[in-house]
Amino acid sequence: MSRVQGHQRGFTLIELLVVIAIIAILIALLLPAVQQAREAARRTQCRNNLKQIGLALHNYLDTHRVFPPAYVDLRGNSGSLATLADNHGHWSWSVFILPFVDQTPLYTRLNPGNQTPTQAASSQLSALQTTLPAFKCPSDTGPLMHNPADSAGFCIIDQGGTERGLPVTNYVASGNTKQVRQFRATNPSDGTTGSTGMFYRDSRLSMAELTDGSSNTILVGERAHTRGGFQQKAGTLYAVRDRDLQGPEHQNHASTPRYYDQGLHTIAASCHWGINAVLTTSASNDRTPSYSSLHTGGSHFVMADGAVRFISENISNDQSNATDSTLERLVSISDGGVVGEF
């Protein structure tokens, strides 16, 4: 018996091209949704990071009755550390909360009560250069370590005279409404008289000193490493270089930014330029110590009550000396101004 052989028809070239086009269209439609979902996850992680930092600061407060200082001036130490050169650096607020973010072994190795950052850079370099994901915003793909070649003010000199880069953090303390300052403001409503915010040299503020209210006071906010092709540089973990710190020099060009080498701005921020300030090649541009992020529309902040808020880059902010805008009042701890919705 003979069998009838069926003819199997294959894809024509036109049909194949149509299928490929449909797949391409689907990918084009789905890719933005996938990217948005990923960014949403990164934003959630960033919020969680700041939530943990806020919790650690409160645990430090519960233990010591004060918040940690922006940095400890070792020259005020009554022991042998007081006689060391200023360029040994100084331990900053992030090192003091290590025991409260499950990093007690690292804190013990750094031993901030008995050695300077310079000594740690010589005897415990691997500890001093430990990167911590909890202090990095996952949306920021910048470096994990500051490079001594272009970030001298973001490094520590070891006892042999070698520059050692410090780990990068995207979270910086609340410093001032004007340029960051190393001492407390004599006028809490004028950032030119000193720091109106939570953190400055040897600050150690109690909750009672936040007379504007804990829900209206910023503790820590974000700073991106690079925005719009400009390296404004994120903060440093564990330590700050040098003592007399008043702010950066001008950033005079996109490819050759200049920084004030003594960098309180590497651990604290000013709100003078607002949030997500646009950097330019202007020779008078000193916006590097601002708050910023790679999130669209604003940045995350943890408040003194532990709440994490996403604050719009369009929030009211005034560059005059007086503390008279919403963002300035959120930075200042005792200006007495009324904070509305934000």
- pLDDT tens digits, one per residue of 203-253: 999 999 999 999 999 999 999 988 777 777 899 999 988 644 333 333 333
Tell how strand 268-270 and strand 171-176 pair up: parallel
Cα 232 from Cα 226, distance rounded (Å): 6
The reported pTM is: 0.83
Partners of 299 in beta bridges: 311
47 Cβ partners below 8 Å, 6+ apart? 300, 308, 310
- Lookup result for tokens 């072994």: 105
Residues 69/93, Cβ–Cβ less than 8 Å: yes
Q: Is residue 46's pLDDT more than 80? A: yes
Q: What is the tens place of the pLDDT at every residue in 248-305?
A: 333 333 333 333 434 678 899 988 889 998 776 554 455 667 899 999 999 999 999 9
For residue 10, the model assigns a pLDDT of 62
What are the DSSP E strand ranges found in the chain? 90-91, 155-157, 163-165, 168-169, 171-176, 218-222, 226-227, 230-231, 235-236, 239-240, 268-270, 298-303, 308-312
For residue 215, the model assigns a pLDDT of 94
Sign of CA dihedral 239, 240, 243, 246: negative
**Residue at 313: amino acid letter:** E
Q: State whether residue 176 is helix, strand or coil.
A: strand
